[in-house]
Amino acid sequence: SSPDRYAVVGNPIAHSRSPQIHARFAAETGEHVAYDRILAPLDGFTVTARDFFAGGGRGLNVTVPFKLEAFELADQLTERAAHAGAVNTLWIDAAGRIHGDNTDGIGIVRDLRDNLGVKLAGARVLLLGAGGAARGALLPLVDAGPAEIVIANRTEPKAEELAQSARAAATRVTAAGFAGLAGRFDVVINATSTSLDGDLPPIADALLKDAGFVYDMMYGAKPTSFLAHAAICGCAGLADGLGMLVEQAAESFFDWRGVRPTTGAVIAAIRAELAAR
């Protein structure tokens, strides 16, 4: 029989590591699936996705810049996707309904807590940024039970709005400007896109020096600008977002197949592929 078909859709898409990750998951779990890259025109995401499903495709990962359009396309959303306002995982059910999930946030929580052994329960967490990645991360982070999450963003009203969107919970969620950050944080998460340009969010070096653990959602062959700077500041616990990438993929695979692949060997393999380029 022919494999069930999945794909990642984005623009650009050539750089995506998702096909390699999902091929490894399929090999490990024995699931009979095929996984491709699809380049959608910037004004053509919805048509591309509908054509894929009409042609028998079973599920899609969605990446930049289409996560908001994927949110609009879904007939039914998971709670975390509804909260994030963005969808990175789509699938079609037997009745032809399109479901949308956001697995980015649970991806970073699993990487921090399970792979890296960072204690989130009871922690004081600094979340830098209030864009799509920060939005997706907030609810899963709250669910991990930190004592406090402070959200800081260049455009401060966006941090304020995101903090207010966090549902009532035991976790205190507040907003601050980059300049107004105070106290020691157990975990600092960079969800700004500054590392893409080799830049830094303008926060005090002392925050990084004193931090228990510093995480950058961006990843690459070399340490990101943010992680390199945190190391210079004296922080010893550092990780980039490659583990998050693999964990969000594993959660999407689980959405689609009901089987949860293991991730440790895949993270190591993709890390080695990055280094070899």
- 127 membership: H or E segment, kind and range: strand 124-128
User: Cα 63 to chain center, whole Å?
Assistant: 10
Is residue 245 near ligand NDP by the rule CB under 6 A? Answer: yes
By CB under 6 A, tell whether 149 contacts ligand NDP. Answer: no
Q: Is 162 in the site for ligand NDP (CB under 6 A)?
A: no
Structure tokens belonging to residue 166? 């966090």
Among 10, 59, 129, 140, binds ligand NDP (CB under 6 A): 129
Q: Judged by CB under 6 A, which of 217, 235, 239, 270 binds ligand NDP?
A: 217
Query: Which CB sits closer to ligand NDP, 4 or 85?
Result: 85
Active site residue 209: no
The count of residues interacting with ligand NDP (CB under 6 A) is: 27
CA dist., res. 185 & res. 213, Å (int)? 8
Q: Contact between 219 and ligand NDP (CB under 6 A)?
A: yes
Binding residues among 52-91 for ligand NDP as defined by CB under 6 A: none
d(CA 53, CA 64): 20
Contact 20, 273 (CB under 8 A): yes
| Nearer CB in complex with ligand NDP: 16/48 | 16
Q: Kindly state whether residue 132 participates in binding ligand NDP, applying the rule CB under 6 A.
A: yes
What is the maximum span of the chain, computed from C-alpha positions, in angstroms? 60
| Residue nearest ligand NDP by beta-carbon distance | 131
- CA torsion 109→114→118→121, rounded to 10°? 70
Q: Tokens standing for 128? A: 């830098």
DSSP secondary structure string for all residues of 209-262:
HH-SEEEES---SS--HHHHHHHHHT---EE-THHHHHHHHHHHHHHHHS----
Instruction: Pick one of 76, 155, 164, 262: the residue that binds ligand NDP (CB under 6 A).
Output: 155
Query: Does 140 engage in binding with ligand NDP (CB under 6 A)?
Result: no
CB of 227 to ligand NDP, least distance (A): 12
Q: Rank residues 194 and 252 by Cβ distance to ligand NDP and give the closer one.
A: 194
Q: Which residues are catalytic?
A: 67
Q: Which residues bind ligand NDP (CB under 6 A)?
A: 104, 107, 129-134, 153-155, 158, 191-196, 199, 201, 217-219, 241, 244-245, 248
